[in-house]
Chain A
Amino acid sequence: MELSRFVTIGQYIATESPVHRLDPRTKIGAVTLLMVVIFLVRDFTGYALLTAFLFGIVVLSRIPVSHVLRGLRPIVFLLAVTLILNVFFSGIEGGQVLFRLGPLVVTREAVVRAVFIGYRLIALVVATSLLTFTTSPVELTDGIERLLRPFRRIGVPAHELAMMMTIALRFIPTLLEETEKIIKAQMARGAEFERGNVFRRARALVPVLVPLFVSAFRRAEELALAMEARCYRGGEKRTRMKQLRFAPRDAFAMGVTVAASAIFALPFETWVAFLR
């Protein structure tokens, strides 16, 4: 049972930086744009510029580079498999042969493509985790609510969805603590969670899950009552303490990202040549 991770879950790094201060909507928009660009870039110059740009954002947001690299850990296995497949089983006929390994032929073209693909994966993970590194979950929820607002007309209950996520985010730490307490209490009574096969371990969880659910849903009832007592009535005409503001710096950041994206994806002839 992994309890050590309970202390911090999530990736958000709370520091003060120009990137942290941006409106969450700006960051969601910019990351979406970068994602598209990562798929569009087709040459080494583009990738070099993109790397410099991403690195610039990392520096600006005051996130330790080591932390960003640690974020790549979950994809290491996938990356390795992908690279091996692309280098040894590329299926590229002809091409300049670099070396042979038994029946496997490794061509220069295959290696180049593997490097591209590997780089693209890493760039995607770095770009998308920049969002979660610099934006707290609560800010992200606020941003999502605002971005969903136009869809209210077609029946998307933007406010309710955001309220559920906000409640979830607020109670994750509380319930984590609760879970830890219950696990410890059951261990004190001699429960064993780390022995036996998967199913035995699952059975051992019954005395954890039942009290956890009972207390969690009791909390839900109390919360509903408290909200009702304070006249909560859903999204209409609700005001908020912290308003999201699209400030000049957001316009600036968005402008820079759009311009940069255009430049990275620009060598148009190369694509045309590639597509032919």
Chain B
Amino acid sequence: MNRQSLQRLVELGIAIALVVVLSNVRIYKLPQGGSVTAGSMVPIFYVALRWGAKWGIIAGILAGVVNYVFEPFFVHPVQVLLDYPVAFGALGLAGLFARQPVVGIIVGGAGRWLAHFVSGVVYFATYAPKGTSPAVYSAVYNGSYMLPEVVISVILTLVVLRAMQRIRPMQQA
């Protein structure tokens, strides 16, 4: 294992820890239980933009798993996969747009929203009677916290990126 991959491994681990820590700092609570966190997606965006989409996705998936271990919410196997590893993994897509971080963060956020949205639809398809239309509800509910969360992430990620660049310039692979 060379120096760079060790550095990457450790940074990804720390980023995952930061996700869990920041998810526990809630700055705003929605009545239905969703909450806006203190930029809990920023660490994933940061490593995705720094190390590329592949590593961003890996960090996201693992952050999803660790998040599940700390706060499991399990109502359906597909729902769990979508709400944890897939949703967080999607954030890593931001790494595809390393040159336009804002676009990347929006794409990553949209990916996560999509995962939660589908998970909501799966839940309703399983547990609600036929004929109830789950799509709109799921879209609105998940949008209600993801939208502010993404906006916050854009601001905070840009600030963090700039600050980190200053103290430790990016070494390209």
Contacts and interface: CB of A to CB of B under 8 A. Distances in A.
Contact of A202 (B3, B39, B73, B164): B39
Interface string A150-173: 000000000011011111111110
- The contact size tier of chain B is 35 or more
Interface in B137-171: 148, 151-152, 155-156, 159-160, 163-164, 167-168
Given A2-B25, A205-B27, A210-B160, A9 B70 contact: yes
Given A205-B156, A209-B38, A217-B14, A6 B24 contact: yes
Contacts of B46: 213
B75 A75 contact: yes
A41 interface: no
Contact of B167 (A78, A168, A209, A214): A214
Contacts, number: 199
A223 interface: yes
Given A75-B75, A91-B131, A234-B1, A137 B164 contact: no
A165 B13 contact: yes
A191 interface: no
Nearest to B80: A128
Contacts of B16: 164-165, 167-168
A168 B132 contact: no
A132 B72 contact: yes
SS of A interface (majority): helix
A132 B160 contact: no
30 contacts: A2-B26, A74-B33, A82-B127, A92-B129, A110-B129, A113-B129, A121-B75, A128-B74, A137-B66, A161-B62, A163-B9, A164-B12, A165-B65, A166-B13, A168-B63, A170-B17, A175-B18, A176-B21, A179-B22, A202-B39, A202-B151, A202-B155, A206-B159, A209-B160, A212-B18, A214-B163, A220-B11, A223-B14, A224-B7, A224-B9
